[in-house]
Structure 1
Amino acid sequence: MSEKWARTMLAAYRWAGAAVYPAVGAYVAFRASRGKEEHARRRERYGRASVARPDGPLVWVHAASVGETSAVIPLIERIVAMGIHVVLTTGTVTSAKLVAERLQDRVIHQYVPLDLKPAVNRFLTHWCPDLAVICESEIWPMTILELGARRVPQVLVNGRLSDRSFAAWKKRASLAEALLENLALVVAQSEVDGERFRTLGARPVVVSGNLKVDAVVPPADEQAVTALQAQIGRRRTWAAISTHEGEEQIAVEVHDMLKTRHKDLLTIIVPRHPDRAAALEAMMTARGLKVALRSRNDAITPETNVFLGDTIGEMGLYLRLTEIAFVGRSLTGEGGQNPLEPAMLDTAILSGRNVQNFRDSYQRLIKNGGAKLVRDRDMLAGAVNFLFNNEQQRQEMIAAAARTVEDMRGSLERTLVALEPFLQPLMVQAQLTGTQGAR
């Protein structure tokens, strides 16, 4: 694929986006009807700001959804503490709620504009960012090109490329290079990620580690935790978290296999997408299981077999109710989910083998004895049963996972060092002009 071809494709993408722009209203309206967009704030998706731009230097930070937002919040807090304004964009309703809870009015939150020329132009014209910080792997061609045309420095932080994404970009190497050459810096999660970005043409690239390790321990409502722990009592519990389609069925089958040996067993299932809760409850009820839903505030009684965690932002609560956690999207799904939250919250970690998206974290956890991979349902049931019956080994896994997380910390400070050449002038400008952001 030649450089000329890549430039032609990007030009075609740019003008195709402008052509379809008038028709995207129906698409956004459809998403709003399904609760995937805030109806009252749909205009933000077209780049129409809902608040005025503050005076002084401003950094645009983008994080796609809840996971990326949680990871980047400590970095945002440090930028705000420098007196620099931050406009934070996210793409989901749930991530917007997280921003409101964790950052309140310290930043300006907007929904990210659609990656179409009119929307991106309108957004950039209003906000005039002095720096753009993009989290993880959000590579939007139009946004990157328009920022480049305006000579706004762009930095990718906590950067990662999954096996699938890297393979796809390698097939379009010239296209990747034409986009990544617009980045002033890539701060990658791991040496593997860093080398992948370099292969695709990014320069310069530094490695910081995973920002998610330096994120705060997932919070929980202490009263809710205490109340649920009282309802559970001394029952044996295990959790299947961040599960994807098919894994809830496996968790239920594991429950049925184990309850003959552990009569008091309570299985906690936290689907990655809570909107599947009704179908999951129906499936479990059809199997003769008694299910309590968190969203209904159902009490966990002695007869409850499954506690279904069908709420957003309460992983900290669910993990505080158990010492054993299976992390999903790893048996029936591909790529895995983040194991760092259970590692922070005193659990022995189990997972399927498909954990490519979190390879570095799992390699460290497995090497230190904090996590174990299972190949199928039967092996998962055996691992949970073993941990139930062996207190010492369970506690050793819990301690190893916590130790691994502690050893991995430091990414935030390394990221700030990498960003210093971009942030220092903005901090000085804010001090000189007296236009400092909230602290």
Structure 2
Amino acid sequence: MSTPPEPGWCAALPLLAWRAATTAAAPLMPLWLTRRARRGKEDPARLRERRGEGADRPAGPLLWLHGASVGESQSALPLIEALAATRPALHFLVTTGTVTAARLLEERLPPSLAARVQHRFAPLDVPGHVARFLDGWRPDAAVFIESEIWPNLILAAAARGVPMALVNARVSARSAKGWGRMPGMARRLFGAFRLVIAQTELDAARLRALGAESARAWGNLKFAARPLPAPEPALAALRRAIGARPVLLAASTHPGEEAQIAEAHGLLRARLPDLLTIVAPRHPERGPALARELASLLAADEGPPPLVLRSGGALPTPGTAIYVADTLGELGLLYRVAGAALIGGSLIPHGGQNPLEAARLGCPILLGPHTANFTAIADRLLGAGAALRVADSAALAEAAALVLTDPLRARSMTSAAARIAADAGALPERMAVAIETLLPAFSLSPSGTGAAAGPG
């Protein structure tokens, strides 16, 4: 009878398998990246960053923050501001995995911080790429946001002695179950973080079970994000174009939702003939195809409906029924002109986008049945009467009509939502204090460069 493997092998085998698989796949990665670049998923001029190249480390202390996409990178902004205020010599490297996140970070980064923050696309989780990235940047500490668990990256950073934090962490039931099948590997990875701050008590409990023994719940950084911006000239122009028409916004929609939105639009037009419905797809490059889809869906009911694409520079006219806002970074503009907003990703089993963006801008919130990505936030909004749940297109039309025709109801919803959005205003500062414990103490040398002054 053979002797069972030592417990360490339970973690080592899947990690070794992952390392071998990613190493073997490395020669194919350039082709994969090129194909993604053709679809707009990568920046063709910056593909070398995905190989860990392009380091330009500044002098002095450097904190590396990584978030996969738009939500994570945007929730990092108030955290960066809080850390920058208390550590004047600290510089920041922000890595993301999407082009959209990179663009919005550049647009929304406060000018006062521009010289202290650099962006790079995250290296692919290939051992050689990861080593090149870490050797070039040599971060003093690292902060991973939400649920970015890349084995090669995390273990290589740990091997170099980089103190790591996992903040705003969340683990779905499905992910927890998946990691639970590899308990040794989970303990190695989640146990590599010195600081783990979860969004909810349930997230913290799941993380502790996976090996992050010190995980605790402080709340959601997305509660503390700044209101989305809107350039005043563009806002004024859009308001003039819309006039007094009622506006339903479908924000950050995904494929499969727009058909339901088109049906709700048709039902609503029977009660609100001058309704303008704005559809803002989560991925703006879908705009032209989406416009054709919406036109075909509505043609049978209304005749060929006037649809306008914002990416072409056009504003809605009095005859515009559907305005497709296929542009990047303009949700702050759209929430400010809408009388009600359906939060995209919630009419299909995607899990929903962030409803607090609407809450901070005084736009009444409508949520579909699928809000697993923001369960705690959605439950608080619904419980406080700050949002309405809709099951399908008919319920969406009914709820939108209620809000668009009842100003008192709309004001009650927005007031309740604003209170919830403001609750966690001090969270970035509290989180910054905890992250500072991972950083070494630095003093400024006469030349102005950072020098280590002892343990932090």
Task: Confirm whether residue 38 of structure 1 aligns to residue 43 of structure 2.
Answer: yes
- Please tell me the residue identity of whatever aligns with 1:43: R
Mean Cα displacement is larger for which, 135-144 or 321-330? Answer: 321-330
Match of 2:74 among 70, 81, 102: 70
Check conservation: 1:163, 1:357, Cα contact below 8 A. Answer: no
How many pairs are equivalent? 434
Aligned to 1:197: 207
When residues 215 and 142 of structure 1 are mapped into structure 2, their CA distance, relative to the original with a 3 A threshold, is same
Aligned to 2:404: 388
Q: Unmatched 5+ residue regions in structure 1?
A: none
Task: Confirm whether residue 120 of structure 1 aligns to residue 126 of structure 2.
Answer: no
Task: Confirm whether residue 85 of structure 1 aligns to residue 95 of structure 2.
Answer: no
TM-score in terms of structure 2 length: 0.91
Give per-residue Cα distances to partners, 1:135-169, cap 9 Å, x unaligned.
11100010011011111111011111123222322
Residue pairs, 1:101-112, within 5 angstroms? 101-103=107-109, 104-112=114-122
Residue pairs, 1:409-420, within 5 angstroms? 409-420=425-436
Aligned to 1:164: 174
Distance in 2 of aligned mates of 1:98 and 1:221: 14
Give per-residue Cα distances to partners, 1:68-92, cap 9 Å, x unaligned.
1110012123333411121111111
Match of 1:318 among 314, 334, 337: 334
Task: Confirm whether residue 401 of structure 1 aligns to residue 407 of structure 2.
Answer: no
Check conservation: 1:244, 1:333, Cα contact below 8 A. Answer: no
Percent sequence identity is 43
Cα distance, 1:170 vs structure 2: 2.3
3-state SS of paired residue (1:292): strand
3-state SS of paired residue (2:388): strand
Residue pairs, 1:300-339, within 5 angstroms? 300-339=316-355
Cα distance, 1:261 vs structure 2: 1.2
Give per-residue Cα distances to partners, 1:112-133, cap 9 Å, x unaligned.
1010000000011111111011
3-state SS of paired residue (1:55): coil
Match of 2:23 among 12, 18, 21: 18
3-state SS of paired residue (2:437): helix
Match of 1:176 among 186, 196, 216: 186
Aligned to 2:310: 294
Task: Confirm whether residue 54 of structure 1 aligns to residue 58 of structure 2.
Answer: yes
3-state SS of paired residue (1:320): helix
Distance in 1 of aligned mates of 2:101 and 2:42: 11
When residues 391 and 99 of structure 1 are mapped into structure 2, their CA distance, relative to the original with a 3 A threshold, is closer
Residue pairs, 1:218-297, within 5 angstroms? 218-286=228-296, 287=299, 288-297=304-313
Distance in 2 of aligned mates of 1:127 and 1:430: 20
3-state SS of paired residue (1:177): helix
Distance in 1 of aligned mates of 2:411 and 2:160: 54
Task: Confirm whether residue 348 of structure 1 aligns to residue 364 of structure 2.
Answer: yes
Larger relative contact order (C-alpha < 8 A, sep ≥ 6)? 1
Check conservation: 2:339, 2:403, Cα contact below 8 A. Answer: no
Distance in 2 of aligned mates of 1:406 and 1:59: 27
Mean Cα displacement is larger for which, 22-31 or 258-267? Answer: 22-31
Distance in 1 of aligned mates of 2:77 and 2:184: 33
Match of 1:213 among 205, 216, 223: 223
3-state SS of paired residue (2:123): coil
Distance in 1 of aligned mates of 2:150 and 2:386: 36
Instruction: Output the aligned Cα RMSD.
Output: 1.8
Q: Unmatched 5+ residue regions in structure 2?
A: 452-456
3-state SS of paired residue (1:422): coil
- Please tell me the residue identity of whatever aligns with 1:399: S
Check conservation: 2:339, 2:404, Cα contact below 8 A. Answer: no
Check conservation: 2:342, 2:365, Cα contact below 8 A. Answer: yes
TM-score in terms of structure 1 length: 0.95
Mean Cα displacement is larger for which, 175-184 or 10-19? Answer: 10-19
Distance in 2 of aligned mates of 1:60 and 1:203: 23
Cα distance, 1:302 vs structure 2: 0.8
Check conservation: 1:184, 1:203, Cα contact below 8 A. Answer: no
When residues 31 and 119 of structure 1 are mapped into structure 2, their CA distance, relative to the original with a 3 A threshold, is same
Cα distance, 1:436 vs structure 2: 5.0
Task: Confirm whether residue 155 of structure 1 aligns to residue 158 of structure 2.
Answer: no
Distance in 2 of aligned mates of 1:309 and 1:166: 36
Check conservation: 1:209, 1:410, Cα contact below 8 A. Answer: no
Distance in 2 of aligned mates of 1:432 and 1:350: 57
Distance in 2 of aligned mates of 1:71 and 1:226: 28
Cα distance, 1:431 vs structure 2: 6.6
